[in-house]
Amino acid sequence: MIYSITLNPSLDYVVGLPKLALGRVNRLESAHKLPGGKGINVSRILEQLGISSTALGFAGGFTGQFLKQRLTALHLQTAFTPIADDTRINVKLKAAEETELNAAGPTISPAEITAFKHTLTKALKPGDVVVMAGSLPNGLPTTFYHDLIPLIHAAHAEFVIDTTGQALLDTLPEHPYVVKPNHHELAELFGDAEYPSLAATAAAGRRLLGLGAQHVLVSMAGKGALLITPDAAYHGFVQPGSVQNSVGAGDSMLAGFTGTYQQTHDALAAFKVALACGSATAFSLDLADKAMIDQVFATITITQL
């Protein structure tokens, strides 16, 4: 089983307007409410791939209810820990540019934290993979994800944390299943300027393997992505399409890799699905569906570096 953990999920309120005028009343052309949060997006893509997962995290109030109802309607399994405070609302503004307004989120009490850890510990079985992604709500220490690793390892399960900077470096000695910095984050991690070539980017990615990651993906938005394994490095990209949305492309990529690798233990096969999922979401208004993932998959080009 794959468990996604979204400690700070959201109702994503996605609004469209031709042009944003700051300091004025703006009339919207479109408005949609979606279940959001990085781990939840991972579970939604896994569901499209026919891979079962359970979404864990904290959910409360009317927004928490909305989240659970919408995920159940999408056939996802959930086991959220109830909280007294309301789940947050994040606003995604689509005008000439995309602007995201992400709230800090609710405050989690010590009793709610204990209940969450209990749910996770009871659920985990050997061979499970836990994907932890997204920001931390108030009340949780910044080390919260890292502190869950011993619980996960005690169950003989694997983990993925979608994080950046020092927090990412700190997880590497614990051997994450996969890490997925984007190329800007990778350069920042090592205090470098932007890398001049794919080979230089791959060399930096290889350093993450040396520090303990099992696989490294480097996402590069419209320029595709790199896969770096102990044996080889690959660049993959898809045929350009009409970009509708960048929210959740990274989460989709992580879902495609994690789900496929857990099933096949074939990193290159997992990379292809990851590329298809990431770009299919970029080419969709919401997260990608299976039809779009299949369509994009058919256009993948892979080059070994």
Ligand X SMILES: Nc1ncnc2c1ncn2[C@@H]1O[C@H](COP(=O)(O)OP(=O)(O)OP(=O)(O)O)[C@@H](O)[C@H]1O
256, interface contact from ligand F1X, ligand X, none, CB < 5-8 Å by kind? none
Q: Show contacts with ligand X in window 19-58 (CB under 6 A).
A: none
278, interface contact from ligand F1X, ligand X, none, CB < 5-8 Å by kind? ligand X
Q: Is 37 in the site for ligand F1X (CB under 6 A)?
A: yes
Q: Show contacts with ligand F1X in window 265-284 (CB under 6 A).
A: none
Q: Show contacts with ligand X in window 273-302 (CB under 6 A).
A: 275, 278-279, 282
Active-site residue list: 251
Q: Is 248 in the site for ligand X (CB under 6 A)?
A: yes
90, interface contact from ligand F1X, ligand X, none, CB < 5-8 Å by kind? ligand F1X
Phi and psi, residue 71, nearest 5° = -70, -35
Which stretch, 21-29, 62-70, 85-93, 218-226, contacts ligand X (CB under 6 A)? 218-226
Work out how close the CB of 34 gets to ligand F1X at its nearest, in angstroms, rounded to a whole number. Answer: 7
For ligand F1X, which is the closer residue by CB, 12 or 128?
Answer: 12
For ligand X, which is the closer residue by CB, 109 or 229?
Answer: 229
For ligand X, which is the closer residue by CB, 55 or 113?
Answer: 55
Cα–Cα distance measured from residue 74 to residue 92, given in angstroms and rounded to the nearest whole number: 21
**Cα angle, residue 120 at apex, residues 118 and 126 outer, rounded to 5°:** 125
Q: How many CA atoms lie within 13 A of 211 on its CB side?
A: 18
For 294, the 3-state DSSP assignment is: helix
Q: Residue 170 contacts by C-beta under 8 Å, 6 or more apart in sequence?
A: 146
Phi and psi, residue 133, nearest 5° = -150, 140
When binding is defined by CB under 6 A, the residue of 4, 8, 182, 262 that contacts ligand F1X is 8
Q: Show contacts with ligand F1X in window 175-234 (CB under 6 A).
A: none
For 283, the 3-state DSSP assignment is: coil
Q: Is 38 in the site for ligand F1X (CB under 6 A)?
A: yes
Measured in whole angstroms, the distance separating CA 239 from the mean position of its chain's CA atoms is 23
**31 beta partners:** 15
Work out how close the CB of 254 gets to ligand F1X at its nearest, in angstroms, rounded to a whole number. Answer: 10
Q: Is 12 in the site for ligand F1X (CB under 6 A)?
A: yes
Q: Is 133 in the site for ligand X (CB under 6 A)?
A: no
For ligand X, which is the closer residue by CB, 184 or 206?
Answer: 184
The closest alpha carbon to 29, from 297, 285, 301, belongs to 285
Supply the angle between the helices 110-123 and 144-154 in degrees, to the nearest 10.
30
For ligand X, which is the closer residue by CB, 17 or 220?
Answer: 220
When binding is defined by CB under 6 A, the residue of 20, 74, 169, 243 that contacts ligand X is 243
Cα–Cα distance measured from residue 270 to residue 254, given in angstroms and rounded to the nearest whole number: 10
Cα–Cα distance measured from residue 58 to residue 205, given in angstroms and rounded to the nearest whole number: 33
For ligand F1X, which is the closer residue by CB, 130 or 155?
Answer: 130
Phi and psi, residue 300, nearest 5° = -70, 140
**98 beta partners:** 94
Supply the angle between the helices 38-48 and 61-73 in degrees, to the nearest 10.
10
Q: Show contacts with ligand X in window 146-185 (CB under 6 A).
A: 182
Residues at the contact surface with ligand F1X, assessed by CB under 6 A: 8, 10, 12, 36-38, 41, 90, 100, 102, 134-135, 247-248, 251
